[in-house]
Amino acid sequence: MGLPKGRSNNLNGRPIGSVNKDKALVTSFLDYLVDSGFEKFEIEMNKLKGKDYIKIFLSIAKIMSHDRSHVQANEKLIQFFNQKIKQDGTN
């Protein structure tokens, strides 16, 4: 049996209420993406092929499914990936 939820034996763990570093990084990335960086993101994503593309795609999809606070960025990403799938096919 484990410890109760919210409790660990790590006394030096992340303090309650502190920001998760990964979520903060993703949030700042999505803000940048919406504000000014989507064209560069699109260029870089189009350079990726095979396993590299799939790895990034799945990482972004996972983030999008957990963080629904950036609706505008999610919509742009969904449009981008739908367009990419139509261009490249499903193979």
**Segment 60-83, tens digit of pLDDT:** 787 777 766 666 777 878 888 888
Is 40 strand, coil or helix? Answer: helix
What's the confidence (pLDDT) of residue 15?
76
Per-residue exposure over 7-19, b if at least 16 CB sit within 10 Å of its own CB, e if not:
eeeeeeeeeeeee
Which residue has 């139509």 as its token pair? 86
CA distance 30 to 37: 9
- The answer to whether the CB of 27 falls within 8 A of the CB of 67 is yes
Q: Tens of pLDDT along 23-69? A: 777 777 777 777 777 888 888 888 988 888 888 888 878 777 776 66
CA distance 42 to 39: 5
